[in-house]
Amino acid sequence: MTAITKKLLITILMATTLTVAFAQNNDSGTPPPPQSWEDAKKQFKSEKVAYITSGMGLTVEEAQKFWPLYNKYDAIFDSIGEARRVNYSRKECMKNYDKMTDAKAGDIIAKSFEYDTQELETRRRYHEELSQIFSQRKILLYYHLEHEFRRQKLSDNKPAGNSFGKSFKNN
């Protein structure tokens, strides 16, 4: 078995294990709420991997190429998001809004645009690399699955058994 195949199997096994672990119900019939931001993030990611895997119908060869690329760019997007959170907190900005100068507000807005630009440039690179694996139709399906997963998670009409975002509060 090649190293890529082993990594693919380990990734799928981890995603399945996490999905099963988070899907177990407590006495109230709902999954246990995440205990920390990291737990919530892991739950979200494992559910997303399962959703994409199910929806894309990847061949073994496609999966061996896709998941390492997905993990690479997921880490990049996470680091951009973390930098944004560290350097720009809407909550802190609004808490200090009355004391904030126009210059400070302009700096915050400019920094936000920088993060947006980094994300867009990263998406373009990701798309170029995805184009080496999939047809444009399959990439469109992947983008659709990503969007639909997020939409389902953020909507109030979440499927039964989903507690992400309802029970966890990041204070």
Per-residue pLDDT of the chain (171 residues; tens, 9 = 90+): 565 555 555 555 555 554 444 444 445 555 566 678 788 888 888 899 999 999 999 989 999 999 999 999 999 999 999 998 887 777 777 888 889 899 988 988 899 899 999 999 999 999 999 999 999 999 999 999 999 998 988 884 454 444 444 443 333
The pLDDT score that the predictor gives to residue 20 is: 47
The pLDDT score that the predictor gives to residue 170 is: 39
The pLDDT score that the predictor gives to residue 95 is: 82
The answer to the question of residue 41 being in a domain is yes
Retrieve residue 2's tokens: 């090649």
Number of structural domains found in the chain? 1
The answer to the question of residue 165 being in a domain is no
The answer to the question of residue 35 being in a domain is yes
The answer to the question of residue 73 being in a domain is yes
Domain containing 47 equals 3-154
The answer to the question of residue 162 being in a domain is no
Report the alpha-carbon distance of residue 157 to residue 17 in Å, rounded: 25
Indicate yes or no: pTM above 0.75: no
Burial of 39 (0-12, 13-18, 19+ CB in 10 A): middle
Where do runs of H (alpha helix) occur along 26-160? 37-56, 60-87, 90-95, 102-130, 136-154
The answer to the question of residue 30 being in a domain is yes
89-45-135 Cα angle (round to 5): 110
The answer to the question of residue 167 being in a domain is no
